[in-house]
Amino acid sequence: MDAERGRVFSGARPTGRQHLGNYLGAIRNYVALQDEYDCIYCIVDLHALTTMATTENLGSNTNEMALDFLAAGLRPEENIIFVQSHVPQVTELHTILSMVTPMGKLTDLPTFKEKVRQNPDNVNYGLVGYPVLMTADITLYKANLVPVGIDQAPHIEFAREIVRSFNYRYSTNVLVEPQMINTEVPKVLGIDGSEKMSKSLNNHIEIAGTPEETRARVMQMVTDPQRVRRSDPGNPGVCNVFSMHKIFSSTEEVAMVDVECRKAGIGCVDCKKLFTNNLNAHLAPLRERRASLEAKPGYVQEVLDSGAKRALSIAASTIAEVKEAVGLP
């Protein structure tokens, strides 16, 4: 990796086949960042354990997700794509950083409180320490840049505090304080038109689905609830299909839908067909690449193994410096 370029780190939980929300919120940005920075993208399987009821699909979810990342255009020769648990030094650094992290701050974090609210029966030790593991992820690879949406900013600020605390406690500058790259993360609603797109709510559209599967999902999309009959004028401002048009359709088509919907000049079925065609056309190259990568047996595993090897060499050197700074014999 080039020392002159900034080093980006980002982690994503292994959630299997990716949907439009993942694509617009993260993957597209991951692909773009490669042109400017050295990037380390990590599939954070250890983080996933904090909330997972079962690990049955962990392996296949990791594989499917990596395949979608690669199909979308991540370049594993120039960057590092790997699985968190393949580099065990991260757990070592996590333990060391735990000793400079005040417990009260962890339990005060709004994200922790939210997780407790969502899942009161599974408030485990790992969940409390989640931000410390995240700090270990970033600092182990000496990443100085982390792409985050505005709602994630407090996490990075907290990671910076942990780094300062460690460096101060051990009079060192071994760990690098990460900076945020503010990223616009659009809130992508599911086909129900009300909740954020998510697999668990089954309101998602897979990026690697077939054109026919995509069409079927789009046809289920909730539109302007006031537009009951074809002859009713609609309001694109409250319609999720229109929000998607703004991302995937041409300026002319967006303008046309905006005008025609308001005077019932276009029906929702035709409007959805237009969106489906544009979405399928946009995703066609990704789907083709995915099919060709899938046809190479062992390819994804090779990418992840090679990524882990390169990540491991950075991690081994950082952990040696950390231990020396701490005074561990």
Any contact of residue 223 with ligand SF4 (CB under 6 A)? yes
What's the closest the beta carbon of residue 245 comes to ligand SF4, in angstroms? 7
| CA gap 27, 182 in Å, rounded | 15
DSSP 195: S
Q: Of residues 133, 197, 208, 239, which one binds ligand SF4 by CB under 6 A?
A: 239
User: Taking phi first (over 0 means left), then psi (-120 to 50 degrees means alpha), and beta for anything else, what does residue 196 get?
Assistant: beta
User: What x-and-dash track marks residues 241-270 binding ligand SF4 by CB under 6 A?
Assistant: xx--------------x---x----x-x--
Ranges within 135-194 binding ligand SF4 (CB under 6 A): none
Considering only the stretches 65-73, 159-167, 195-203, 236-244, report the one whose residues sit in contact with ligand SF4 under the rule CB under 6 A.
236-244
- The percent of the chain in helix, strand and coil, each rounded to the nearest 5, is 55, 10, 35
Vertex 267, ends 265 and 272: CA angle to 5°? 130
| CA gap 111, 152 in Å, rounded | 9
Residue 270, number of CB atoms within 10 A of its CB: 13
Q: Name which of 262 and 287 has its Cβ closer to ligand SF4.
A: 262
Considering only the stretches 26-34, 180-188, 195-203, 233-241, report the one whose residues sit in contact with ligand SF4 under the rule CB under 6 A.
233-241
User: Is the distance from CB of 28 to CB of 58 less than 8 angstroms?
Assistant: no
User: Is the distance from CB of 226 to CB of 234 less than 8 angstroms?
Assistant: yes
Q: Of residues 131, 147, 234, 307, which one binds ligand SF4 by CB under 6 A?
A: 234
What's the closest the beta carbon of residue 24 comes to ligand SF4, in angstroms? 18
Among the listed residues 283, 303, 281, the one whose alpha carbon sits nearest the alpha carbon of residue 70:
303
Q: Name which of 270 and 288 has its Cβ closer to ligand SF4.
A: 270
Any contact of residue 203 with ligand SF4 (CB under 6 A)? no
Q: Which two tokens stand for residue 275?
A: 């969106």
Ranges within 99-118 binding ligand SF4 (CB under 6 A): none
Q: Name which of 205 and 286 has its Cβ closer to ligand SF4.
A: 205
What's the closest the beta carbon of residue 271 comes to ligand SF4, in angstroms? 3
What's the closest the beta carbon of residue 184 comes to ligand SF4, in angstroms? 23
Instruction: Please identify which residue in the block is written with the tokens 């069409």.
Output: 215
Any contact of residue 11 with ligand SF4 (CB under 6 A)? no
Residue 306, number of CB atoms within 10 A of its CB: 15
Q: Name which of 119 and 235 has its Cβ closer to ligand SF4.
A: 235
- The values of phi and psi at residue 189, to 5°, are -80, 155
What's the closest the beta carbon of residue 235 comes to ligand SF4, in angstroms? 7
Any contact of residue 271 with ligand SF4 (CB under 6 A)? yes
- Amino acid symbol at 231: S
Residues of the shown chain interacting with ligand SF4 in the complex, contacts defined by CB under 6 A: 223-224, 227, 234, 236, 239, 241-242, 257, 261, 266, 268, 271-272
